[in-house]
Structure 1
């Protein structure tokens, strides 16, 4: 690297950190998740507002691959933490209510997204038509579990019946959505000469479950389970998530799946302190440095300045499908189980949050070639708007003047995860 490249890289990293932090604080002041402000920081530095000339001056072409590499590491670390924090207890004994709401909030938006893709496929000319249709359906079906959890915590709803149900539904939906995306990546990425690599997925999963997991349990046992994270354990975790991501990338899946799966196989029993320490040590590095770089990388690829009438019409269709599919899927399914209209609306609103998870999926789609720059920009805008809608809609459907116990009787299903709480 030249001196000029180092100067540009370090200066841009400083700019990214400061602007993402400031707009994240503004978003929180407006009762929005910080991710909204951080994504808008990326869009503000991109060609949408500044134009290509100014944006290219601030972020020269020579350093963008370096920023992309840091963003990829940030995605990998984030997906590992998602897998680490995935509470498998939410997936067990959730009853028909959580399962049917999750499936409905996946199937309906997936179907509508696939139909929308058929309308858009000719204008956007993706590299892989079937992959494009399946990807659009998957992208419409996503719920951002981490953002949802943060919204519930900020609004003190995580221990309410509807909040617990939303977490269970989102956890199930996350697993289904990642499985669908894995299938799309396999179809699109497996079309090349090395498609036989996908056969290695089975032995990879076997090694992770029957070799890596016991070794990790041994590592946890050596630390006493509740001890602070040692430098050796931290090194193993970091090396493991990166190596797991490298393997899935090599065999034809995206690296995010390997990082996520490594988090899933980490021991969960009696390791609360250790997992909290891992999340704090690794998560802080990711959230304060790597993820802001990811948001800027997203924003630099977003260009809404020359959409024209047809572009905004496409955006309207995308918003209609995104909002109606998730909302109606969750709302109608909850109502069919006897949940009150108000709680069903609250649940449907929560399931409509997309946030960072959606951005990661969209970035994967852009890298795979199933999205072009124009449609990628529209989908990123949809992710921001649908996530920002959650706060105002929750205030509308569940104002502070309405007490939780007024809503409990109709919603308390003995088979639901919130029963007895």
Structure 2
């Protein structure tokens, strides 16, 4: 049920995705987004490799020579590089900065960062898969069919419904058809070798914007976050092991290999500082004031559900423990 909630949530995220900031984004937003994303991925990968090496050395002293996973740092890097667009938009709206220059630049950069995160996550999932090019090729074909075949078909169907002025029950039938298509798209992308959330996200992104999508958001938008998503967050809470964070004082070896409080703190600081500093430097290079550059760097550290999705995806395929 938690995974089902995630599938429908990603469909809603795709519905709310607006490509206009990406199309209208100038060189400033593009350079700032890519700079922060690249250095965050690099530092996140290096941090994970360093921690895994520490654990491997400690386990070697204990006689357990299990080698650390090679692909886990890739998920770490992508997770630390994300900027959650919906949460950032809410923060800017609460601070009344949504239509300011810094707010608009942050939104454009966050959309670009989110797209880069999704693309890189898809590539990482395909690389880990035993049939790498097969997974990438089939997923690319599915996305191409959605853009060039499914999208025009959906536009034609919605247009016909409007012309005939169908009753509410027929609109409900169309909504049920779309919701069934969400599950089908998830099954297809999962069979292609990528994650099941890719299909619903793509389907939501290609849905023709207008009255029908607004009705979809109204019908489904309250049920999914309020009823289904708490189940997904419950799963995440159940996966948190505070003994690993606090360390086992009775066992010195486990205390060395566990993610102690000190390591959690300095990893968080380094991850936060990396994106802040890289975005700050990119803003200065683009002739922004130091104050605006620093504010932009802090805003680009906004994390959200996408980070949890990336980490859980790595855990599900057993490259993150």
Q: TM-score, structure 1 length as denominator?
A: 0.66
Q: Which consecutive segments of 4 or more residues in structure 1 shift more than 3 A?
A: 124-128, 194-199, 225-229
TM-aligned CA deviation for residue 128 of structure 1 = 4.2
Deviation by residue 1:86-136 (Cα, 9 ceiling, x = unmatched) = 11111112111100111011011111011112212342768741x222211
Q: Is 1:241–1:262's contact at 8 Å kept on the other side of the alignment?
A: yes
TM-aligned CA deviation for residue 183 of structure 1 = 0.8
Tell me which residue corresponds to 2:50. Answer: 119
Tell me which residue corresponds to 1:232. Answer: 173
1:290 aligns with 2:221: no
Q: Is 2:87–2:304's contact at 8 Å kept on the other side of the alignment?
A: yes
Tell me which residue corresponds to 1:208. Answer: 146
Q: Is 1:109–1:325's contact at 8 Å kept on the other side of the alignment?
A: yes
TM-aligned CA deviation for residue 274 of structure 1 = 2.4
1:191 aligns with 2:140: no
Tell me which residue corresponds to 2:299. Answer: 350
Tell me which residue corresponds to 1:338. Answer: 287
Counterpart CA distance in 1 for 2:135 and 2:305 is 29
Q: How does 1:20-59 map to 2 (within 5 A)?
A: none
Counterpart CA distance in 2 for 1:317 and 1:259 is 36
TM-aligned CA deviation for residue 314 of structure 1 = 2.8
Deviation by residue 1:34-54 (Cα, 9 ceiling, x = unmatched) = xxxxxxxxxxxxxxxxxxxxx
TM-aligned CA deviation for residue 154 of structure 1 = 2.0
1:155 aligns with 2:95: yes
Q: Is 1:219–1:233's contact at 8 Å kept on the other side of the alignment?
A: no
1:176 aligns with 2:116: yes
Instruction: Give SS of 1:200's match.
Output: helix
Q: Is 1:126–1:132's contact at 8 Å kept on the other side of the alignment?
A: no
> Which residue of 288, 305, 314 corresponds with 2:243?
305
Counterpart CA distance in 2 for 1:295 and 1:104 is 31
TM-aligned CA deviation for residue 299 of structure 1 = 0.2
Deviation by residue 1:39-81 (Cα, 9 ceiling, x = unmatched) = xxxxxxxxxxxxxxxxxxxxxxxxxxxxxxx111111111111
Count, aligned residues:
297
Q: 1:198 to 1:101 in 2, by over 3 A?
A: closer
Tell me which residue corresponds to 1:267. Answer: 208
Which has the larger displacement, 228-237 or 102-111? 228-237
Q: Is 1:121–1:132's contact at 8 Å kept on the other side of the alignment?
A: no
TM-aligned CA deviation for residue 260 of structure 1 = 0.8
Tell me which residue corresponds to 2:250. Answer: none
Q: How does 1:395-406 map to 2 (within 5 A)?
A: none
Which has the larger displacement, 172-181 or 355-364? 355-364
Tell me which residue corresponds to 2:104. Answer: 164
What residue ranges of structure 2 are gaps of 5+ in the alignment? 57-65, 248-254
Q: 1:126 to 1:85 in 2, by over 3 A?
A: farther
Deviation by residue 1:121-162 (Cα, 9 ceiling, x = unmatched) = 342768741x22221111110111111111112222211111
Q: Is 1:158–1:164's contact at 8 Å kept on the other side of the alignment?
A: yes
Which has the larger displacement, 77-86 or 310-319? 310-319
TM-aligned CA deviation for residue 306 of structure 1 = 4.2
Counterpart CA distance in 2 for 1:354 and 1:140 is 8
Q: Is 1:195–1:252's contact at 8 Å kept on the other side of the alignment?
A: no
Counterpart CA distance in 1 for 2:235 and 2:290 is 40
Q: 1:138 to 1:334 in 2, by over 3 A?
A: same
> Which residue of 301, 305, 308 corresponds with 1:359?
308
TM-aligned CA deviation for residue 198 of structure 1 = 4.5
> Which residue of 316, 327, 335 corresponds with 2:276?
327
Q: Give the alignment's Cα RMSD to 1 decimal.
A: 2.2
Q: Is 1:113–1:137's contact at 8 Å kept on the other side of the alignment?
A: yes
Q: Which has the higher contact order (CA 8 A, sep 6+)?
A: 2
Counterpart CA distance in 1 for 2:192 and 2:304 is 28
Counterpart CA distance in 1 for 2:290 and 2:214 is 37
Deviation by residue 1:8-53 (Cα, 9 ceiling, x = unmatched) = xxxxxxxxxxxxxxxxxxxxxxxxxxxxxxxxxxxxxxxxxxxxxx
